[in-house]
Structure 1
């Protein structure tokens, strides 16, 4: 767990809050987090993904002995599930009376109570707003697609005196590699094809395409095969994280295993293995294709972290396509 302090700012005024409205003892500590990683279903009120559930447990472990006596969330499930492990541990009822649109009212309610430490779980757009309403400093925008590990600590020492500290908790949030492509260009499509090994037999070669041009992602079988699958949001984000386009474009067009077998090794020769052609197309039109064998997962992971996992994902996707073709016969 990281506890790196990135900013501390003391401000002089708490706008919109009368001194006479203060009841809180000083110092008052307000822990503010964004909800943890979410799923895509149900679409109108998603819960937490497996990564989000782990983050919620990390939050409970971190703040279990922080003296928190009140917990606030917005009206939606993902904020409530983020604080549930801590609320259960402390036997606290979660206050859900302040929806996301009422951050000023929430700040006033916190300052009128007698709590010494409270926790608030909000959203990427409401967390900065609440911090300002409490008198804290302005914080950088929170990236909606991937930034979940911030823990803001707003300490209020009295009317007109407050500090804001940003820490991090749980697994580090990592920017999507698709946003770090070469020269600002981003991954639009990934073309996949099999060859060699059993795939060389008639009818067993397969091609597919992953469309990453929008916020969602879709896999389709090429050449009119009929297979199509919309990736859940979480899976689409994971696929994007697996490929660093800058590193991928530096790889040679054909990779041979660092442990490539020969007659002496007793391992299956490359000619007997299924081959995968992975083609990355950027939104500026550039393409790069790399041919790898099915046994190269660990080698790829060393060359470009995440690419080995993408190869395993590709194998599983082609298995889905193969099963689909069998069912259509």
Structure 2
């Protein structure tokens, strides 16, 4: 093989390798999902209760915890406790809440709606999901995250999950768990 042919072959190989590397870097981007439970709610015989004073304080604490993050979207249900929890941060970041109607859709379709909203519209970005305690594990599972721990329904308002999900569906998402705004 002549030297010119070897150079051409090497140039083509380098080009192919660089192209593959560039494609991998774009297809291996990740989406960060911050997932929390709504803040403390008023205990009453109302299917859509407001927040307690502690809940409103926790909503402000959430704003303080995430105001410097690069949140691109905030997803909530149509129940006011999720919206009231997220609203201070949404106002601070000048974002509109994305409402997935759990009452209209039912739990199963709501969960799928949250996952579809993230996957279809916010891939490669940072999203806050303010949801309900019994749904954490199911949403996390559909986002390919490791199993999320159980949360005490009476007191578990301060749990804060961060799921880092590769856009490559064969890669397991990473999960971190902390707490915020404890009183």
TM-score (norm 2): 0.76
List, as ranges, runs of 4+ consecutive aligned residues in structure 1 with deviation greater than 6 Å.
none
Distance 1:158 1:141, change over 3 A: same
Paired residue secondary structure (1:119): strand
Corresponding residue number in structure 2 for 1:170: 181
Q: What is the CA distance between 1:65 and its match in structure 2?
A: 1.4
Does the alignment pair 1:48 with 2:59? no
Unaligned 5+ residue runs, structure 1? 1-22, 173-329
Q: How many Å separate the matches in 2 of 1:128 and 1:75?
A: 20
Question: Whose RCO is larger (CA < 8 A, sep 6+)?
Answer: 2
Map Cα deviations across residues 175-222 of structure 1 (whole Å, 9 max, x no partner).
xxxxxxxxxxxxxxxxxxxxxxxxxxxxxxxxxxxxxxxxxxxxxxxx
Q: How many Å separate the matches in 2 of 1:41 and 1:163?
A: 37
Does the alignment pair 1:92 with 2:92? no
Q: Cα RMSD over matched residues?
A: 2.0
State how 1:264-303 maps to structure 2 within 5 Å. none
Q: How many Å separate the matches in 2 of 1:147 and 1:51?
A: 13
Q: Does structure 1 retain, via aligned residues, the 8 Å contact 2:31–2:126?
A: yes
What is the aligned length?
150
TM-score (norm 1): 0.43
Unaligned 5+ residue runs, structure 2? 1-25
- Structure with higher helix content: 2
Q: Does structure 2 retain, via aligned residues, the 8 Å contact 1:24–1:112?
A: no
Q: What is the CA distance between 1:45 and its match in structure 2?
A: 1.1
Q: How many Å separate the matches in 1 of 2:178 and 2:35?
A: 10
Q: How many Å separate the matches in 1 of 2:117 and 2:59?
A: 24
Q: What is the CA distance between 1:42 and its match in structure 2?
A: 6.4
State how 1:35-184 maps to structure 2 within 5 Å. 35-41=38-44, 43-99=46-102, 101=107, 102-114=110-122, 116-159=125-168, 160-161=170-171, 162-171=173-182
Which is higher, the Rg of structure 1 or of structure 2? 1
Q: What is the CA distance between 1:128 and its match in structure 2?
A: 1.5
Q: How many Å separate the matches in 2 of 1:169 and 1:24?
A: 32
Corresponding residue number in structure 2 for 1:199: none
Q: Does structure 2 retain, via aligned residues, the 8 Å contact 1:36–1:79?
A: yes
